[in-house]
Chains A and B, each alone.
Chain A
């Protein structure tokens, strides 16, 4: 039973501008439903812009603007923690001049063929997941464009969401997956590498795809759509309890980058049912392991006309300045999600069995699969991960070289030494976050 956080209102066909031309609410699958009027989200009220303006407090503001990471790879791959902005590829990509639409438009008599082509192009460029959504006004940001770095200006910024989706009826969602093995060292610089490198690669792919659509003679708008809405509507995945889009192949280890709104003739994909709805009702693994208790244990709620699990993004966000020395992106909820597994046969078998199982019988299957997941994968991962000199077996705050055979004289670390055991250490422990995160109980 969903709880309503806001006063419910009559379903209206009028948008915020009073135009009586909004199409009916789209079907988004079983994991999320539009049950009331949706006020388009102002991108300026989303977490990163609020923090950029200092509205989330000094620690977060300083963390965002004034911290340089100790880790060379993080300085290259993570937003805002670089020593030299020119080393961060997304800056280069976001600030680049936007190309023009080719006046020699390619005719598209068969939209299905073009859909297959665009997906093949995105995959060829390196995207792991590509899907197409039918645009809906509720998927679009209100007002100006969303971009974290640089500009995303276009000629349609004054156009209302309802009119935009009439002119540009399709959203292309193309994304990259994080490396599974590195992600096991979540709350660690190794996990950061999995997250951030795939993120900047995804940015590059989307920029190239945007350019290619323009070369075909069609418009491609960025910074217009909310990625989660487009991801769910296009069938990339379903919205989980952790607030992440969960894909059948990669689970929660996919980015939801800024999608492309376009007038290229395409055929939209449909939302999927991978039993995420059934699993999240029972599992609660992400809620149990979240270091900041930002993920709800209870039922879905109605927020801004949308019935979904509502995470507390502010408490999730507030952890970051305190752990800056150890990692940049938490990723715990994505890592522990039972859907987040390597792309191997037993994972395919499990997701296939969930998909094909009749809905009434799914709870029993979910209980069985969760038991297997807890038994073999673990309730929370603390395995030791080693990668290119990084080692999660070294306790936070300690320094040691554990690379076998290294005889370099490391200043402050001493020569290479063997660290026994197969336990990874990931800061902070959940109980240590009490001092800056209020808990209900």
Chain B
């Protein structure tokens, strides 16, 4: 946790506020004995709803992108990027090669949401360690539902190379270990599942020209 002094914060000074908590390690590192006690599984397994039959009156792609990002930030995302999915460039595709570019044609854009992760969810299997995943799922669930209610297709793609796409969206760079490193939060981040959509958006970063 970054030490905050009123409006100032000192990113170099970390304060472990849980070092005197005898149960914190259990919270972070002990996997749930019953998956029904976790929220992550039930959100992940929730079926997507229908696309609203009438398309909402949307703005220009640039403005719509800013609204999508604003909505994601409001839902709790710390960083948000938009990429154009490279239908004809398999090396950049977030989807398994078997998809063959078809999904990218149906869903030309990807929305990448990144949340802070004090603990890496890949190595911290406890309910606490999975809180960044939980937060990411909350964001992608509500955001994708909102896009469908706007009258456009949106689906949450769990099996995607999110970190790679986040880098393409300009949210950070991939380090030697294959992890996303962001300017603001370093490697203490979790990339949520990608939202694939046909909502007309304006991509960020290098994704403008994949």
Contacts and interface: CB of A to CB of B under 8 A. Distances in A.
A75 B52 contact: yes
A17 interface: no
A5 interface: no
Interface residues of A, number: 59
Interface in B11-42: 17-18, 21-24, 26-27, 30, 32-39, 42
Interface string A109-147: 010011011001100111000000000000000000000
Contact of A208 (B23, B67, B134, B146): B134
B60 A406 contact: yes
A421 interface: no
B34 A100 contact: yes
Contact of B48 (A86, A99, A405): A86
Interface string B149-176: 1100000000000000000000000000
Contacts of B142: 76-77, 89, 197, 200
A179 B75 CA distance: 11
A106 interface: yes
Residue with the highest number of chain A CB atoms closer than 10 Å, among B26, B39, B43? B39
A408 interface: yes
Contacts of A65: none
B52 A92 contact: no
B47 to A, nearest CB: 6
B36 A92 contact: no
B150 A96 contact: no
Given A124-B128, A212-B37, A388-B70, A405 B150 contact: no
B59 A113 contact: no
Nearest to A73: B146
A99 B42 CA distance: 11
Residue with the highest number of chain A CB atoms closer than 10 Å, among B35, B59, B128? B59
Given A72-B149, A211-B38, A406-B60, A197 B75 contact: yes
Interface string B68-103: 001100111000000000000000000000000000
B56 interface: yes
A413 B58 CA distance: 11
A318 to B, nearest CB: 28
A211 B149 contact: no
B39 A114 contact: no
Given A92-B43, A197-B142, A113 B127 contact: no
Contact of B149 (A76, A114, A214): A76
B145 interface: yes
B127 A215 contact: yes
Given A76-B145, A96-B42, A197-B74, A86 B49 contact: yes
A315 B63 CA distance: 40
Nearest to B32: A215
B138 A106 contact: no
B67 A201 contact: no
B150 A211 contact: no
A322 to B, nearest CB: 24
A50 interface: no
Interface in A81-100: 83-89, 92-93, 96-100
A411 interface: yes
A413 B57 contact: yes
A176 to B, nearest CB: 11
A403 B26 CA distance: 49
Contacts of A408: 58-60, 63
B5 interface: no
Contacts of B46: 86, 89, 92
Contacts of A403: 59, 63
B206 interface: no
Contacts of B2: none
B145 A211 contact: no
Interface string A303-317: 000000000000000
B113 interface: no
Given A84-B148, A204-B138, A215-B30, 9 more contacts: A73-B146, A77-B142, A120-B17, A193-B74, A212-B128, A216-B26, A388-B74, A405-B60, A405-B63
Interface of B: 17-18, 21-24, 26-27, 30, 32-39, 42-43, 46-50, 52, 56-60, 63, 66-67, 70-71, 74-76, 127-128, 131, 134-135, 138, 141-142, 145-146, 148-150
28 contacts: A72-B146, A72-B150, A73-B71, A73-B146, A76-B142, A76-B146, A84-B49, A86-B48, A86-B50, A89-B43, A92-B46, A97-B42, A99-B36, A100-B33, A114-B23, A117-B22, A117-B23, A117-B27, A126-B135, A197-B74, A201-B75, A211-B36, A215-B127, A388-B70, A401-B57, A407-B60, A408-B60, A411-B57
